[in-house]
Copies of this chain bind each other. A is one copy, B any other.
Amino acid sequence: MTRRIGIDVGGTKILGIAVDEDGHQIARVRRATGWGEDAVADGIAAVIDELVGPGAGAAVGIGVPGQIAPGSGVVEHALNLGIGRADLAAAIVERTGIRPVVDNDVRMAAVGARALLPTGDSLAYLNLGTGIGAGIVDARGPWRGSRGAAGEIGHVPIDPAGPLCRCGQRGCIEALAGGGALAERWGRDDALPVLAVMDAADAGDPRALLLRDDLVRGVAAAVRLLVLATDVDLVALGGGVASLGVRLLDPVRTTLAAASASSPFLGSLRLDERVVLVPPGTAVGALGAALSASRHPAARTVSPR
């Protein structure tokens, strides 16, 4: 039988899993990510090798940062991997004989989160990492948009008086609530800056309180925007900053509930009830990639190694 493999390529590690027919994880492999197209492709191929074994076939899905034109397998602007533009699908075919399905990592994570969470129909996965982006998925599959840029809500400005964003605009959601922007504004040398901000805010540090407020209102704004634009059933928070867990979720829900209390229209949308956390420790990115592999017809044509 053909194995389903899902690979999540991050800035520091490549995580690969194999799943059984029911989508349950049966194997897991982890490697450090190399720099640049060749090193990244070599690392992915090595993970595939380990998960598939010699002589076997596989359907492979790969989630990778950057913009991927729908169906192309070509990755653009994956700057944290050292990739400006690369035909990643072709590079993997060359190395493994398997043509993978390649899509944006956040979009793949949305597919994985939808499989894990009890959502009626549609879900937005809100990735809270160094940057902020979302993947939107329903029963028909992920929404990619015309250029594979759907879900880039981190760069929606929500406050003309807010801080400058690295994108060049002012008051973007990412400038308020992105892990990178928060660390930069905090400015101290902490190993986990967002956690340090939360602790300092709890201790009453006025600057930390301000930053925590920006984090919470930025995340709440992202949730509201996603629900208003797409009316997804559920918004699932994931990514490094979401590992704050209920320390983030609770104030975000409180903020959304307060907005709903002042607005019957928002109240009818039950925003606070639609936000959840991705279960900690689940590899939603790799899972979504594995599930996407099996759906895509091209991935079913697998060459023996």
Interface string of A116-138 (1 = CB under 8 A from B): 00001110000000000010100
A131 vs chain B, min Cβ distance (A):
11
What residues on B are CB-neighbors of A165 within 8 Å?
263
A42 vs chain B, min Cβ distance (A):
29
What residues on B are CB-neighbors of A83 within 8 Å?
none
- Across the interface, do A158 and B157 meet the contact criterion of CB distance under 8 Å? yes
Tell which of B148, B152, B263 touches A228, judged by Cβ atoms closer than 8 Å: B152
Which residues of A, 84-135, contact B by the 8 Å Cβ criterion? 120-122, 134
| Distance between Cα atoms of A136 and B146 in the complex (Å) | 13
A232: interface (CB < 8 Å): yes
- Across the interface, do B153 and A228 meet the contact criterion of CB distance under 8 Å? yes
A37: interface (CB < 8 Å): no
A121 vs chain B, min Cβ distance (A):
5
Binds B, one of A4-12, A187-195, A242-250, A264-272: A264-272
| Distance between Cα atoms of A169 and B158 in the complex (Å) | 13
- Across the interface, do B229 and A229 meet the contact criterion of CB distance under 8 Å? yes
| Distance between Cα atoms of A147 and B232 in the complex (Å) | 8
| Distance between Cα atoms of A149 and B270 in the complex (Å) | 12
* Residues of A that sit less than 8 Å from B by CB: 120-122, 134, 136, 140, 143-153, 155-161, 165, 167-169, 221, 224-233, 259, 262-266, 269
